[in-house]
Amino acid sequence: MREYVPKIGQAYIRVTGERLGKFVEFEFSIDDEDLTVELILPHEAFKIFCDKHQA
């Protein structure tokens, strides 16, 4: 069964750095590039996150 992901607007991701060669630091926003959250994920999880949000 596929996970349901509602379409809530255009997602934006801006990579801001990398930590220890293992983690991606980035900002994530939906529809408003001025309103963001800062996140850190391992590289593989970051790729999955981007694919899931089509960003």
At 8-27, the pLDDT tens digits run: 788 999 999 999 999 999 99
pTM of the model: 0.81
Please give the residue range of the domain that contains residue 16.
11-52
Which helix (H) or strand (E) segment is 3 a member of? none
The count of structural domains within the chain is 1
Average pLDDT over all residues of the chain: 90
Dmax over Cα atoms in the chain, in whole Å? 35
Structural domain contains residue 24: yes
Structural domain contains residue 16: yes
Residue 1 has pLDDT above 80, yes or no: no
Q: Which long-range contacts (CB under 8 A, 24 or more apart) does 24-29 make?
A: 28/53, 28/55
Structural domain contains residue 15: yes
